[in-house]
Chains A and B, each alone.
Chain A
Amino acid sequence: MLKIEKLVKTYKTGDKALKAVDMEVPRGQVVSLIGPSGAGKSTLIRCINRLVEPTSGKVWLGDVEISGLNAGALRRERRRMGMIFQEYALIERLTVMENVLSGRLGYVGFWRSFLRRYPQSDVNEAFRLLDRVGLLEMADKRADELSGGQRQRVGICRALIQNPALLLVDEPTASLDPKTSRQIMRLITELCAERKLAAIVNIHDVALAQMFVQRVIGLRFGAIEFDGLPTALTPEVLTAIYGEEDWQATIRKDGESGELSV
């Protein structure tokens, strides 16, 4: 479904953020991307939908090669990639409903979006999604009135209303408390399962990643250091990714259920 070939990103400052990354994500698989700050996790995600222009390499979504598209075609492909952000990145001064509907911007024309005259099917879908994440009665509230967890759910709705094939998720829980973090991660993985979505989830909380995803990729200095099952994350592997540290407390023990404390 998603295929990345020899992806390189070198910033103008000379920083090599990504050094020839290869990876493949099949349909419906949720992958979490772990690694220390500055390992290139955010850059990798942004190179896929070209919010950051890759220096070289290829990205395939289905049979479309994203890296070679012109501006118009790139916008059409971006509709198939929903993105969820660390600080939610909602338009604070617009209502929840407008924020969700803004996920349809790639499908409606400028004047329709400017006058907020979205097709009824979009409006229905927006209400269904808000109902699904439990925020229906917040629809006409302004986004800056919501709590962190609620805002992130609006962010999820905005990504899903695009009707994407792939979710790009950048540190979805970094600004949330532990309980809300688990709820948000569970919501994302559940929705991916319901809709057979592939997802790449940047996350720095290793235990949280192990709890919810089927596959973990470890990035260090812009190169893939580990790619495997969550259970294969041993202290040795973590040391290879993050450097020397006592890892015993971080890793989930076998048989311990991550769901108990929620």
Chain B
Amino acid sequence: MRKPDTLSDRIDRPWRKPPLIKSLWLRWALAIGAAAYLAAAVFSIEVNWLRVYEGLDRGAEFITSFARLDFVSRAGDIWSGMLESIIMTVTASVVGIAISIPIGLGAASNIAPLPIYLICRGVIAVSRALQEIIVAILLVAIFGFGPLAGFLTLSFATIGFLSKLLAEDIESMDKAQAEAIRATGSKWLQWINYGVQPQVIPRLVGLGMYRIDINFRESAVLGLVGAGGIGATLNTAFDRYEFDTAAAILVVIIGIVMALEYLSGVIRARVQ
């Protein structure tokens, strides 16, 4: 078929937007495939609607419980659980960030020699592939119950997260600045200090703050598998349908996350 390209070819003919996927066959195959999957997925869910209907009352109770938060009756548990979560967050963030800086440097292909690059990338891949909760289960099995397992879990997860982003940041930095420092005849560490560090510090601070935020949120669930923190208290509260206490804990978590976000905004603005 000739490509229509004169006005008389085009005029009085219907116009349609050119489709995103050119092949008609592929378009229909994708649409039917997606529809079939959705149908199969929806039908394979077994929902006990009676149970859901009965649950609506409890749901309403939970929502209204935000109006009568109960910090008092389990004040001791909430306080110690929260403190443990915060302690885990602080220690894991410090240790995790400290370790992820050398690993991040090692995982940047433009400054690290190949063997070190491969090792560091391997560490990152393992850390990122393993869910925090699964790591926590294994570490609890090995080290016993308590915040030490939680601390190790969060540190390990921080390394994977931060090193990868730091390495990407270093790989995309401005070469001219780094070259200028190298041209002064600096040693490797001086080169990192003057040529690389000033370029990546603002983003490192931002990412570090973000990771502290994530670590705190994660520390709230590690208690479910016995790795310390507020999660155990929260679990007990839900098990006993003590929604007032559960809501109080959730409000505290949301409050701390909001405070951390605000703080990280302020710090990021100051660094940049």
A residues with a Cβ closer than 8 A to B are 95, 97-98, 116, 118, 120, 123-124, 126-128, 131, 136-137, 139-140
Set B10, B17, B18: member contacting A127, Cβ < 8 A: B10
- A118 (CB) vs chain B CBs: closest residue: B15
The answer to whether B15 and A123 have CB atoms under 8 Å apart is: yes
Contacts of B42 in A (CB 8 A): none
Q: Which of A124, A126, A136, A140 contacts B12 (CB 8 A)?
A: A124
Given A124-B11, A127-B10, A127-B11, are A137 and B17 neighbors across the interface (CB < 8 Å)?
A: no
Known: A97-B15, A128-B7. 7 other contacts (CB 8 A): A95-B17, A120-B14, A124-B12, A127-B7, A127-B15, A136-B7, A136-B10
A120 touches B12 (CB 8 A): yes
Nearest CB on A from B4, distance (A): 9
Instruction: List, in ascending order, chain A residues with CB within 8 A of B5's CB.
Output: 136-137
Number of residue pairs A-B, CB distance < 8 angstroms: 29
Q: How many residues of B contact A (CB 8 A)?
A: 11
| 29 intermolecular pairs with C-beta atoms under 8 Å apart | A95-B17, A95-B18, A97-B15, A97-B17, A98-B17, A116-B16, A116-B17, A118-B15, A120-B12, A120-B14, A123-B14, A123-B15, A124-B11, A124-B12, A126-B15, A127-B7, A127-B10, A127-B11, A127-B15, A128-B7, A128-B11, A131-B7, A136-B5, A136-B6, A136-B7, A136-B10, A137-B5, A139-B10, A140-B18
The CA-CA distance from A137 to B7 in the complex, in Å, is 9
Q: Which residue of B lies closest to A123 (CB)?
A: B15
Per DSSP, chain A at the interface is: helix
> Which B residue sits closest to A140, measured CB to CB?
B18
Chain B: CB-nearest residue to A94 = B17
CB distance from B18 to the nearest CB of A (A): 5
B152 to chain A, nearest CB (A): 47
- Give complex CA distance A123, B16 in Å: 10
A120 and B15 CA atoms in complex are apart in Å by 8
Closest chain B CB from A157 CB (angstroms): 14
Q: List 10 A-B pairs, minimum CB-CB distance, nearest first.
A: A131-B7, A123-B15, A127-B10, A116-B17, A137-B5, A140-B18, A124-B11, A127-B11, A127-B7, A136-B7
A124 — which chain B residues lie within 8 A by C-beta? 11-12
CB contacts (< 8 Å) of A136 on chain B: these are 5-7, 10
**Which residues of B, 14-67, contact A by the 8 Å Cβ criterion?**
14-18
Complex Cα gap A124–B18 (Å): 17
The chain B residue sitting closest to A116, CB to CB, is B17
Q: What separation, in Å, do the CA atoms of A122 and B89 have in the docked complex?
A: 62
Which residues in A have their C-beta under 8 angstroms from that of B15? Answer: 97, 118, 123, 126-127
Q: Tell me the complex Cα distance, A103–B270, Å.
A: 46
Q: How far, in Å, is B131 (CB) from chain A's closest CB?
A: 36
User: Using Cβ atoms and an 8 Å threshold, which residues of chain A touch B17?
Assistant: 95, 97-98, 116
Most-contacted residue by chain A among B5, B14, B15, B18 (CB, 10 A): B15
Instruction: Specify which chain B residues have a CB less than 8 angstroms from the CB of A131 in the assembled complex.
Output: 7
Closest residue of chain B to A132, judged by CB? B7
A116, B16: Cα distance in complex, Å = 7
How far does the alpha carbon of A137 sit from the alpha carbon of B9 in the complex, in Å?
Answer: 11
Inter-chain contacts of B11 with A (CB < 8 A): 124, 127-128
Taking the nearest CB of chain A, how far is it from the CB of B174, in angstroms?
Answer: 27
Q: What is the minimal beta-carbon distance from B163 to any residue of chain A, in angstroms?
A: 35
A133 to B: closest C-beta gap in Å: 12
In angstroms, Cα B5 to Cα A128, docked, is 12
What separation, in Å, do the CA atoms of A127 and B16 have in the docked complex? 13
